[in-house]
Structures are given as structure tokens and as C-alpha cells.
């Protein structure tokens, strides 16, 4: 086929060049939505993602000019947007900024300046899925259910019953940390995996006997049980705390006293302590 015939075929095709300094999914979706209003949407969309240099823009300008096409773009980097607008005018190409009208409306209504940073939406999506994965992880590896999760955890919490291991696991999961927790009970040996993980992944949670006694009595009361049960007795509590202390020393992990601390405060301490441990 001769070059002139190829050029003729290309000029007859309805082509829209989608340009983005990110993936370009938003721009492509908008173009498809508009195209369906014209003859069932028979248009070829050529996506040019991650455009972060004038050379990328120039390449699209040349192709769009040759094919008499439209350029639809979502560029948030001011210099690239300005360059594309200028070159489109120079070459007589229709170029449509899909973000500018709404961006201007936001800026005017909320009296704030946009960040002009590409790929922020992608970062938000990735952050969301990391958080969901972390929450699922915390549920799966709560209360020592499966010791295989210890090697995959970002943080491991150990302590006796009622030291806020589960609430802390969930709170930290909402900050995208994968957390596993292991209860320390004298009658049940901790899993071997606990002694194989790096000490800077593990935090021991301790509490004063008085506070633990108070919490456990309330727990028994809420369950309709007598507060004199062995679970809340001082002798049992002291036995458990002594056992937990031995395990924590064996693991060699940092220890945080959770007595009278809110979950948020303890979680912040855990993150600070582990960051300090890992920086050494």
C-alpha cells in the first residue's frame, strides 16, 4: 500500500489521543463516555501515559496533527499543560483539558491551591488497598490463630489477656501495618515462630496487676460471670505477668506498659519504639 493511501485511511479514522502524566484511565473513561453519544462511540483511543517531558507532548502533537485528531488530556504539571496548549494552538489541533474546569471550580470555591502533583489518585488507590490488606491480615492472625503469619507481619504484639492486643492490631492495621498478636498463657507454650522473628518486629505489652484485675472483673461482669473467678484473681494475674515477663525477655523485644493508656497513645508508642529499634 502506498504512503498516500495509508495517510488517507488514517485521516479518515476518528482518533483521540489521550495524554496523562499518570496512567490516563480517567481521561480514557471520559472520552469513551463522550464518544458513545456519537454514532455508538466508534473512535480509536490512543493512550499516552506517564507523559512527564516535553518530548512526550511533542510526539503526540505530531501524530495528532498528521491524523487530524483531538487530544484529550489530564495534565497537572503546569509546564507540560502550558506547552501542550501552546503547541496545539500553533499546529491548529483541538486539545481539551479535562481537569481544568473542575480544578478551577475547586480552587475558587474552597480557596485552596491544587498541589499540581501527578499520580496522586494512584497513590490513594494503592494506600486504600494496602489498608484493606492490613485489616484482613490483622483479623486472620488475631489471638495467635495461625503462627505462620508471624514471619509476614510488620508488627507482632505479645502479652497476657486484656492488654489491648486486638484493638491495637486493628488500629495499626488502619494505618496500613500488618499486625499479628500472640496471647501469653502459662499453660500454652508460645509458637516456635515467635522466637525466630527479628526482635525489632515484636513489642511486649504489660500492665499493672491492679489495672488488669479491674479490667478483668469488668469483663467477667459483662459476660454475666462472677468476678471472683480465677481469671480475675490476683494470684492468677501475678502468675501470668511473671510468665509473660520471662517470654518477653527470651524474645528480647521492647516492652510498653499499657496501663491507663488509650489505644491511640499506645499505638503511637509502638510505632516510635519499633522505628527506634530498627534504626540501630
pLDDT in tens, 8-24: 444 456 899 999 988 88
Provide the edge-to-edge strand list for the sheet that holds 70-74. Answer: 44-48, 15-20, 70-74, 94-97
**163 labeled binding residue:** yes
Go through 211-245 and write b for each residue having 16 or more CB atoms within 10 A of its CB, e for each that does not: bbbebbbebbeeeeeeeeeebbeeebbeebbeebe
| Structural fold of domain 121-279 | Rossmann fold (3.40.50)
Mean pLDDT of 195-224: 94
Fold of 3-118: Rossmann fold (3.40.50)
165 is in an annotated binding site: yes
- Read off the pLDDT of residues 38-65 as tens digits, 9 standing for 90 and up: 866 678 999 998 898 999 999 999 999 9
26 is in an annotated binding site: no
Q: Is residue 166 marked as binding?
A: yes
Domain ranges, ordered by start, for the chain: 3-118, 121-279
Q: What is the pLDDT of residue 7?
A: 47
- Is 164 known to sit in a ligand binding site? yes
- 161 marked as part of a ligand binding site: yes
> CA 84 to CA 61: how far, in whole Å?
8
Instruction: Report pTM.
Output: 0.63
Please give the grid coordinates belonging to residue 28. Answer: 480514557
Residues 34-66 as b/e (b if ≥16 CB within 10 A, e otherwise) read: bbeeeeeeebebbbbeebeeeebbeebbebbbe
27-31, 75-79, 217-221, 228-232: segment of lowest average pLDDT: 228-232
CB atoms within 10 A of CB 160: 24
Q: Greater confidence, 124 or 92?
A: 92
Quickly state the pLDDT bin for 188 (edges 50, 70, 90). very high
Through-space distance between the first and last CA atoms of the chain, rounded to whole angstroms: 68
The reply to whether domains 3-118 and 121-279 share a CATH topology is yes
Amino acid at each position: 500500500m502506498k504512503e498516500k493511501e495509508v495517510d488517507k485511511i488514517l485521516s479518515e479514522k476518528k482518533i483521540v489521543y489521550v495524554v496523562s502524566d499518570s496512567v490516563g484511565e480517567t481521561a480514557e473513561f471520559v472520552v469513551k463516555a463522550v464518544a458513545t453519544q456519537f454514532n455508538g462511540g466508534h473512535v480509536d483511543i490512543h493512550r499516552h501515559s506517564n507523559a512527564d517531558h516535553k518530548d512526550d507532548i511533542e510526539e503526540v502533537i505530531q501524530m495528532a496533527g498528521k491524523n487530524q485528531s483531538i487530544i484529550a488530556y489530564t495534565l497537572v504539571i503546569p509546564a507540560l499543560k502550558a506547552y501542550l496548549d501552546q503547541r496545539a494552538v500553533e499546529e491548529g489541533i483541538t486539545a481539551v483539558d479535562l481537569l481544568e474546569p473542575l480544578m478551577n471550580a475547586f480552587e475558587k470555591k474552597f480557596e485552596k491551591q491544587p498541589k499540581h502533583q501527578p499520580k496522586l489518585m494512584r497513590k490513594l488507590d494503592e494506600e486504600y488497598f494496602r489498608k484493606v490488606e492490613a485489616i484482613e491480615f490483622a483479623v486472620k492472625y488475631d489471638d495467635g490463630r495461625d503462627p505462620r503469619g508471624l514471619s509476614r507481619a510488620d508488627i507482632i504484639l505479645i502479652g497476657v489477656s486484656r492488654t489491648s492486643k486486638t484493638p491495637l492490631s486493628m488500629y495499626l492495621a488502619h494505618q496500613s501495618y500488618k499486625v499479628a498478636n500472640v496471647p501469653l498463657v502459662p499453660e500454652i507454650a508460645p509458637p516456635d515462630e515467635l522466637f525466630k522473628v527479628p526482635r525489632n518486629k515484636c513489642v511486649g505489652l504489660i500492665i499493672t496487676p491492679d489495672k488488669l484485675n479491674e479490667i478483668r472483673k469488668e469483663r467477667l461482669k459483662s459476660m454475666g460471670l462472677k468476678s471472683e473467678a480465677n481469671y480475675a484473681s490476683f494470684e492468677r494475674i501475678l502468675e501470668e505477668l511473671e510468665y509473660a515477663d520471662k517470654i518477653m525477655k527470651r524474645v528480647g523485644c521492647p516492652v510498653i506498659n499499657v496501663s491507663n493508656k488509650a489505644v491511640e497513645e499506645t499505638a503511637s508508642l509502638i510505632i516510635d519504639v519499633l522505628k527506634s529499634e530498627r534504626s540501630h
